[in-house]
Amino acid sequence: MAYLFTSESVSEGHPDKIADQISDALLDNFLAFDPKSKVACETMVTTGQVILAGEVKSKTYVDLQQITREVINNIGYTKGEYQFSGDSCGVISLIHEQSSEINQGVDREVREEQGAGDQGMMFGYAINESDNYMPLALDISHKILLELAEIRRENDQITYLRPDAKSQVTIAYSDDHVPQYIDTIVVSTQHDAFDEDDDRMLAKIKEDVIGILIPRVMAKLPERIRQLFNEDIKYHINPTGKFVIGGPHGDTGLTGRKIIVDTYGGKGAHGGGAFSGKDPSKVDRSAAYAARHAAKNLVAAGVANEMLVQVSYAIGVAEPTSIFVDTYGTAQVDLSDGEIATKVKSLFDMRPFAIEDRLKLRNPIYLETAAYGHMGKAPVTVKKVFESPYNGRIETEVELFTWEKLDMIEEVREAFDL
């Protein structure tokens, strides 16, 4: 008998994602002008207000207000009727200097001996059911909202969209864990006020989502994934009714409150640490990226069809306290999961400095991670420009999503005799 599995995503205009993007934009600006910056920045957004808090140790100074307002405007909160606008909201900063007691456990004279910025466990996951080795329900959920944002910015086919939105996809699987069909799609999108009655408004939104949005999403998917869409899909479009009040006016947003959307949509596991606003000395972020890099390359190399990699740390200690692997019984090599974990340890240096160096994490690469998932996006090299009244102008070329590169496949195959 088939079973169902569901994952959700939220748009860049969701209040929690606004907070994540502000935190990561601030981080990027600190790193652009001082790559050694230590940053742990939290953001709260609500009606007409942004509150910044956290700890920073940096040789540079950035204009927190200007960066915050630019992020909000770029998302699309530019109108007074949203009750939240980059041009008019208040921005309160409560950021202070990082504790010297934490910093003494991280910095070392020998850079390779850099200690972990905190204790904890981090997970990376990969599965071969999609081309980017991501869980399929989450991948489709992200793509629905990415396309919805594209339609909103075009302001052509659908002209009433506002920035806040959520999606959810339920997929039916066979008992041997193969996707069979999409059972349910949920889309809730913020919209302008309509002149006509609520029933006609909701009917119009449902018609546009099913008739315009979903076909555009399907057109960008591989044929084998398109075949999972069928006429029997159950659609729930704005199921609570009208959705005019949204964004920070409808719901307070906080950094780090969408960690499952950020990672694997409920598949695999999560160590509990959020990512956005944290520089890579915080292993909550960097080790989660490194574990994804390892899991993805191992699955792509054919070691297993599905894999979870856990790495754990003690604060101030460079070497991980453990590395764990779970292949869910899908291993394609004649080794136990413990034996696979031993090989992972030899293949992937999980010390914090080694991770930063290998994945080039001391660059301003983080704003792009803060919406539609930190995992599963294509690695790409881009030019970024940072301007500051205090630091001048910097133009730099950076690699985004380095942890998604399949650059260890040959080493993995050699180590596992594949």
pLDDT tens-place string over residues 358-411: 999 999 999 999 999 999 999 999 999 998 888 889 999 999 999 999 999 999
Q: Is the dihedral of CA 64, 67, 70, 74 positive or negative?
A: negative
Indicate the CATH number of 120-127+282-415 among 3.40.50.10890, 3.30.300.10, 3.40.109.10, 3.30.70.420.
3.30.300.10
* DSSP secondary structure of 248-282: HHHS-EETTS-HHHHTTTTSS---S---TTB-TTS
Q: Up-side HSE of residue 326: CA atoms within 13 Å toward CB?
A: 10
Do the domains spanning 3-9+136-245 and 120-127+282-415 agree at the CATH topology level?
yes
Whole-number pLDDT of residue 56: 95
Query: What tens digit of pLDDT does each residue of 332-364 get?
Result: 999 999 999 999 999 999 999 999 999 999 999
Q: Is the pLDDT of residue 417 over 70?
A: yes
Residues at the binding site for Mg(2+) are 16
- Residues of the chain with pLDDT > 70, as a percent, come to 96
Residues at the binding site for L-methionine are 55, 98, 251, 282
Is the model more confident about 301 or about 112?
301
Whole-number pLDDT of residue 356: 96
Whole-number pLDDT of residue 390: 82
Q: Is the pLDDT of residue 177 over 80?
A: yes
Domain extents in the chain: 3-9+136-245, 120-127+282-415
Whole-number pLDDT of residue 289: 98
Query: What tens digit of pLDDT does each residue of 91-114 get?
Result: 999 998 866 555 555 665 656 668
The token pair at 163 is 């920035």
The 3-state secondary structure of 111-159 reads HHHCCECCCEEEEEEEECCCCCCCCHHHHHHHHHHHHHHHHHHHCCCCC
Whole-number pLDDT of residue 12: 97
How far is it, in rounded angstroms, from Cα 189 to Cα 329? 39
Query: What tens digit of pLDDT does each residue of 150-167 get?
Result: 999 999 999 999 999 999
Whole-number pLDDT of residue 198: 77
Whole-number pLDDT of residue 316: 87
Residues at the binding site for K(+) are 42
- Residue 292's contacts (CB-CB under 8 Å, 6 or more residues apart) are 124, 125, 126, 309, 375, 403, 404
Please give the average per-residue pLDDT across 3-20, as a whole number. 98
- Residues of the chain with pLDDT > 90, as a percent, come to 85
Q: How confident is the model at residue 183 (pLDDT cuts 50, 70, 90)?
A: very high
Mean pLDDT, the chain, rounded, equals 94
The token pair at 48 is 């007409």
Residues at the binding site are 14, 16, 42, 55, 98, 164-166, 242-243, 251, 257-258, 274, 278, 282
Angle between helices 283-301 and 337-347 (to 10 degrees): 110
Q: Which residues is 398 bridged to in the sheet?
A: 382
Residues at the binding site for ATP are 14, 164-166, 242-243, 251, 257-258, 274, 278
Q: Which fold has domain 3-9+136-245?
A: GMP Synthetase; Chain A, domain 3 (3.30.300)
Helix (H, G, I), strand (E, B) or coil at 80: helix
